[in-house]
């Protein structure tokens, strides 16, 4: 489970993003499809990076605490791919 500070920071980020979106001038130039696609790619990459960091830190902290469990299916697949 994510830490409360992580949830708070993500919430603050999305609130600021929404406020910036609402403060745009209504008569300004509309965004093109290319700009929207680039923004969507950026947001997907940011979410994937956040999940990867969270997953990595979760396992690192578990190993430091000594509560590390059996490797997951994904970890076994990655270790098998690295061996071959």
Asked if the model's pLDDT at residue 17 lies above 80, the reply is: yes
What is the pTM assigned to this prediction? 0.50
Question: What is the Cα–Cα distance from 6 to 30, expressed in whole angstroms?
Answer: 33
pLDDT of residue 2: 67
Number of structural domains found in the chain: 1
Euclidean distance between CA atoms 66 and 59, whole angstroms: 10
Better-predicted residue by pLDDT, 2 or 61? 61
Output the pLDDT for position 1: 63
Question: Model confidence over 20-73: pLDDT tens digits?
Answer: 877 777 777 777 888 889 888 988 998 888 888 887 788 787 778 877 677 777
Q: What is the domain range of residue 44?
A: 4-83
């Amino acid at each position: 489970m994510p830490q409360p500070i992580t949830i708070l920071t993500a919430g603050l980020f999305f609130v600021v993003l929404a406020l910036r979106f609402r403060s745009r001038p209504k008569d300004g130039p509309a965004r093109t499809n290319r700009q929207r696609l680039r923004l969507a790619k950026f947001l997907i990459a940011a979410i994937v990076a956040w999940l990867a960091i969270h997953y990595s830190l979760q396992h690192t902290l578990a190993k430091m605490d000594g509560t590390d469990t059996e490797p997951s299916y994904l970890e076994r697949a990655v270790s098998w791919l690295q061996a071959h």
